[in-house]
Structure 1
Amino acid sequence: MSTPINPYRGFRFPAAIINEAVWLYHCFSLSLREVELILAARGIEVSYETIRDWGLRFGRDFADTLRRRRPRPGDKWFFDEVFIRIRGKQHYLWRAIDQDGVVLDILVQSRRNTKAAKRFFRELLKGLRYAPRVLVTDKLKSYAAAKKDLKLGSEHRQSRYLNNACEVSHQPTRRRERHMKRFKSAQHAPRFLSIHSAIHNHFQLHRHLISATEYRTTRARAFTIWREVTGLALTP
């Protein structure tokens, strides 16, 4: 029986500290320097640059594994796009979630026309490999045109307010954008947001919809999965 590869091998800090730093940075609206301060209060001297490197090195693997482990998303998908500024130029962040609030995918593009909508649909469908029963969007005509071109048989509901759930899901991104004083490049934004969306979403448990007992059980399960995903369950 082969021994699993330890991803933390060769690092000066133990897995628990690296994991804590990545978790703090992506689960809460904290800057790199604020995470550095929290760790310093616990007697851990590590620079914010090191924390950034940990986030890039380990965050992608954590996020990808969380996506693979999540249950099959719901059959009702909500879409929305918001503008973000990158080096003074306007871009659009496209986002899709299901009816349970699970972030399905994000994509940063410089346009929000039919071509951009088709690209987002293709990326989303390629990753999930099935089409939804219902698409819910605002009244942007690009969605309808892209759906027609791709010959999607899903029911399409267009309304100014029906996709409010997806609009709300942009809020963590806006908070991160303010903390980071905007994204540095068109490559940096999707790379960071794909990591942040998966990790942050994993711990968003909709506490207002469930009882305290259910919440504690769900939270415990989320932490168990997190320890397995990050390899902490295998480290001594």
Structure 2
Amino acid sequence: MIESSDFPRLKGFRFPRSIISYAVWAYHRFALSTADVEDLLAERGIRVSRETIRTWVNRFGRHFARCIRRDRPKPNNKWHLDEMVIVIGGVKYWLWRAIDGDGDVLDILVQPHRNTKAAKRFFSGLVTQFGEPRVVVTPSRDIACAMHCRAMDKLRSYTKPIQSLAPDADHRAHKGLNNRIENSHRPTRKREKIMGRFKSPRQAQRFLFAHDQINTVFRPRRYTLSAASYRRARADAFGLWHDYTREMNA
């Protein structure tokens, strides 16, 4: 990937776009810090500071995420929705995430509240982008837990937005039905730990917007694929990344 020399240089940048795209890919594909990426590049004789790598990740990660969202096929019409708490500066925020039935991330949104208004804001954005789903799966908690955690998923937060925005959708809430999205939260927890927590809601939104989309392409469900199929999927992903690198603009 890094050896590509057929890309025109970005105006105003000292390093070629092949190096920039490699740094962005390595940072999001693996659980690496900017210091780790700096060392990877240094081993290849490329001297660049971690601050510069951070600038590349923030600036061009969004470019790759937008390209992936633009070109991906129409998602499965069965959606899984859930929220997880993230602590930023000692304050609790909620990361809302939606995935389709194949496990691909549809969208994420960091919000300060977990209520019907927040659920409607998130769900309306999904419907605008992808149309109405056939099935919506949300987590369910028993009444005792709901009263203790103030988590009224089925009873309050999700019900009204789904009824008003996707009235024909089959809304299912069951504790055992949403394991798929629970697994989708795990990479976020891992990166949150490596980064020493997110620094601001804006930074969390910017990072996770790119991170989830890039990992959708480069982390196919390997356990469902033969070795040959997995290699083809990986080659296709690298081909897409090559094309998106060519589309990068200063």
TM-score, normalised on structure 1? Answer: 0.92
SS at match of 1:30: coil
**Displacement, 1:31?**
0.6
Asked if 1:182 corresponds to 2:197, the answer is yes
2:55 maps to 53
**Displacement, 1:37?**
1.0
Asked if 1:213 corresponds to 2:228, the answer is yes
Q: 2:18–2:245: 8 Å Cα contact kept in structure 1?
A: no
Distance between the aligned counterparts of 1:131 and 1:81, measured in 2?
A: 20
Range with greater deviation from structure 2 (17-26 or 118-127): 118-127
Asked if 1:87 corresponds to 2:85, the answer is no
The correspondence of residues 89-104 of structure 1 with structure 2, limited to 5 A, is 89-104=91-106
Distance between the aligned counterparts of 1:231 and 1:9, measured in 2?
A: 13
Asked if 1:137 corresponds to 2:152, the answer is no
1:226 maps to 241
**Displacement, 1:9?**
2.5
Distance between the aligned counterparts of 1:116 and 1:165, measured in 2?
A: 22
> For residue 131 of structure 1, what is the amino acid of its counterpart?
E
CA-based RMSD of the aligned residues comes to 1.7
SS at match of 1:187: helix
Distance between the aligned counterparts of 1:146 and 1:179, measured in 2?
A: 35
> For residue 9 of structure 1, what is the amino acid of its counterpart?
K
Asked if 1:125 corresponds to 2:127, the answer is yes
Distance between the aligned counterparts of 1:7 and 1:121, measured in 2?
A: 40
2:150 maps to none
SS at match of 2:158: helix
With over 3 angstroms needed to count, the CA separation of the structure-2 counterparts of 1:199 and 1:7, relative to structure 1, is farther
Distance between the aligned counterparts of 1:138 and 1:96, measured in 2?
A: 12
1:126-169 Cα shifts (integer Å, max 9, x gaps): 222x1111001112131113212335310011011201101100
**Displacement, 1:21?**
0.3
> For residue 138 of structure 1, what is the amino acid of its counterpart?
P
Asked if 1:162 corresponds to 2:162, the answer is no
Give the number of equivalent residue pairs.
228
Distance between the aligned counterparts of 2:237 and 2:225, measured in 1?
A: 15
Distance between the aligned counterparts of 2:223 and 2:139, measured in 1?
A: 26
The correspondence of residues 34-45 of structure 1 with structure 2, limited to 5 A, is 34-45=36-47
Distance between the aligned counterparts of 1:7 and 1:67, measured in 2?
A: 25
> For residue 57 of structure 1, what is the amino acid of its counterpart?
R
SS at match of 1:131: coil
> For residue 176 of structure 2, what is the amino acid of its counterpart?
Y
Identity percentage of aligned residues: 51
Unpaired runs of 5+ residues, structure 2, are 1-6, 141-152
1:62 maps to 64
**Displacement, 1:16?**
1.3
SS at match of 1:169: helix
TM-score, normalised on structure 2? Answer: 0.87
Range with greater deviation from structure 2 (45-54 or 7-16): 7-16
1:152-211 Cα shifts (integer Å, max 9, x gaps): 310011011201101100111111111111111111111111011111221111111010
1:21 maps to 23
